[in-house]
Chains A and B, each alone.
Chain A
Amino acid sequence: MAMPEKTDLTCNELVELVTDYLEGALPTHDRLDFEHHLVWCSWCRDYLDHMRRTIELTGGPDESEPPSPLREQLLDAFKDWKRTRET
């Protein structure tokens, strides 16, 4: 890891800007500082990787089945809908 310049963004500051960065909401100057920091700081690159992976997992397939009565009610409603649609 290259030595940071004293005037650079610190890692502690960077982690609070991650959402603004991902949202494209950082002013140009701040975005350049952010990206410059990432060039030399693999730890913050790892942090950003964590965040991206977390976001992906959050939106990933939900493995928990819906509660049983609700599930059956929905399937019944589907059958009714299909019947009226076909007549």
Chain B
Amino acid sequence: MQRAAATTPALTEDSAIVAALRRGDEAVFTTLVNAYSTSLLRLAQDFVRTRAVAEEVVQETWLAVLNGIDRFEGRSTFKTWLYRILVNKAKTRGVREARTIPFSALAPDGDDEPAVPEDRFRGPDDQWPGHWASPPVPLDTIPEQRLLAREARGRIAEALETLPDSQRVVVMLRDIAGWESEEVCEALGLTEGNQRVLLHRGRAKLRAAFERYLEED
């Protein structure tokens, strides 16, 4: 992956990605597969029953990308388009398998935890009740290399794994796939309000994992 990345355009340049795929550039395809397939696979597994079927869905997705690349018009980003294909294919397979996630059920696991534990705030008898007792560490006191470390992303990825399914799918579609909230609501059959609650709870737990990482030595 490192080798390919050194000789291929940055993955953020959509026009370069699309042009490379159209001319059959294997190094770019390899870079894309390495960069996205783990997340695609993770997301597919939330829609279908088995890992094997999820892998098939990922394969079908990349084939559809290749077969559709001449028609890609850049109205959305490449990444958004890629995840859109995956979700459509995964949903189709999930329906066939009668596997559905209760996206509309807001708290199937009774998850109504606050974004930040109550004991981080001052109590009712304090002069400033409800204000921070142990505030978050300012990021400008943390060396940039620590903030950018691969480990920081790794901790967040671990926390993502532990989220309830519905929160993880919403967070992945919004913050990894880069979808707009309207598209997420439509794909998952959620109201705007419910989508925001799931996003809020999911992101709060990821932030807590990030903070724990910052507070380690």
Binding site for B on A (CB under 8 A): 4, 10-13, 15-16, 18-20, 23, 25, 41-44, 46-47, 49-51, 53-55, 57-67, 70-71, 73-75, 77-79, 81-82, 85-86
Contact = CB atoms under 8 A, between A and B. Distances in A.
Nearest to A49: B139
A74 B33 contact: yes
Contact of A50 (B63, B136, B153, B154): B136
Interface size, B (range): 35 or more
Given A12-B131, A13-B130, A55 B203 contact: yes
Contacts, number: 148
Contacts of A63: 150, 153-154
B98 interface: no
A86 B165 CA distance: 42
B210 A77 contact: no
Contacts of B29: 75, 78
Contact of B33 (A42, A44, A64, A66): A66
B95 interface: no
A57 B1 CA distance: 19
Q: Which are the 9 A-B pairs with shortest beta-carbon distances?
A: A10-B130, A66-B37, A19-B200, A43-B135, A12-B130, A82-B24, A58-B175, A54-B207, A12-B121
A57 B210 contact: yes
Interface string B159-186: 0100000000001000110100100000
A16 B136 contact: no
Chain B contact residues: helix, strand, loop or mixed: helix
Contacts of B81: none
Contacts of A75: 26, 29-30, 33
A77 B63 contact: yes
A43 B130 CA distance: 13
A38 to B, nearest CB: 13
Contacts of B30: 75
B14 interface: no
Nearest to A71: B33
Interface string B6-35: 000001000000000000101001100111
A65 B67 CA distance: 24
Contact of A65 (B34, B152, B181): B34
Nearest to B130: A10
Contacts of B101: none
A47 to B, nearest CB: 5
Interface centre among B36, B128, B132 (most CB of A within 10 A): B132
Contacts of B181: 23
Nearest to B39: A62
A20 B118 CA distance: 20
B139 A70 contact: no
